Structure 1
Amino acid sequence: MRVQGLLLGAAAVLALAGCGAGGDAKAVPPTATGSLESLAAEVKCRPNMQTDADEIRQALCRTGQGRFVLATFATDRGQREWINDAKDYGGHYLVGRKWVAVGDDGVVESLRGTLGGDVEQGADHHAHGG
């Protein structure tokens, strides 16, 4: 199923990115809008397209702050369903209107300083064991 492939891509980027440290609190700009390409240009990333479908467009990006997944969605509902499913894999999500960026905490905070948006946390898998 397409969603599983997308989630695996997001999980792979999270695994490559590792765990990040929190950044300094900064003023958050208004949330950016636009196409995947325009959002990527805002953060100076050349997107490596992974999925280019009517309902979702997804790319891998890299900036000086690290790697992340950038995805845009045709509908708000499609976006929310994708985020809800992806959160089971953990990670940090920067959420705008019909777009999301997924990466480690430091990358997400850096992107938020340019793109605005709201930060959401995925499931915490660090405290398993005993």
Structure 2
Amino acid sequence: MRVTRPMLALTGAVVALALTGCGSGGEGQGDGEGKVPATATGSLERLAAEVKCKPNVQTDADEIRQALCGNGDGKFVLATFATDRGQREWLNGAKDYGGYYLVGRKWVAVGQERTVTRLRSTLGGTLEEGSEHMNPGGSHNRGDHGGDGPHG
């Protein structure tokens, strides 16, 4: 089956919404924010093993491999990419739908903010946040909670 970019972005976006749309799960901001290890590399299975999850592969194509995962930190999507460009294109499309992303070289973990922050303590990587209009209460919006802002 030929997987197109719009299909990949839509798949990622649907999964991101499913995972991040249900409650924030608590504070947990300090968890995993201490020492950040060197960014992990490897196959989908190797990365999943690092965070102690058995991947349930949903997409297995030349350009992307994507799986649902869960461990003590929560549920998340783990995706690996054939190219850096493919990864960035996928991220650009998926981030329009909100969510929290832990980004490594040719891989991404997507889930609730608390979950990806905790995964970072094992996998390293960079935290990125999706579109502010799809992340109500996300860090983009934290300045508006006082009630004096335009959205209060």
TM-score by length of 1: 0.91
Match of 2:109 in 1: 101
SS state at 1:78 partner:
helix
Which residue number in structure 1 is paired with residue 13 of structure 2? 7
- Indicate the residue corresponding to 2:145 in structure 1: none
- Alpha-carbon distance in 1 for matches of 2:116, 2:11: 22
Corresponding position: 1:19 with 2:20: no
Aligned to 2:74: 66
1:9 deviates by: 2.2
Paired position in structure 2 for 1:38 = 46
Q: Which secondary structure state, in structure 2, belongs to the residue aligned with residue 109 of structure 1?
A: helix
Q: Report the secondary structure of 1:71's partner residue.
A: strand
CA distance in 1: counterparts of 2:119 and 2:40, whole angstroms: 11
Distance in 2 between the 1:80 and 1:15 partners? 23
How many residues are aligned here? 129
Between 1:120-129 and 1:77-86, the stretch displaced more is: 120-129
Radius of gyration: which is bigger?
Answer: 2
- What percentage of aligned pairs have identical amino acids? 63
- List runs of 5+ in structure 1 lacking aligned partners: none
Query: Are 1:53 and 2:61 counterparts?
Result: yes
Amino acid at match of 1:72: T
1:19 shift after superposition? 1.8
Q: Name the CA distance, whole Å, in 2 between partners of 1:41 and 1:51.
A: 18
SS in 2 for 1:28: coil
Displacement of 1:129 in angstroms is 5.7
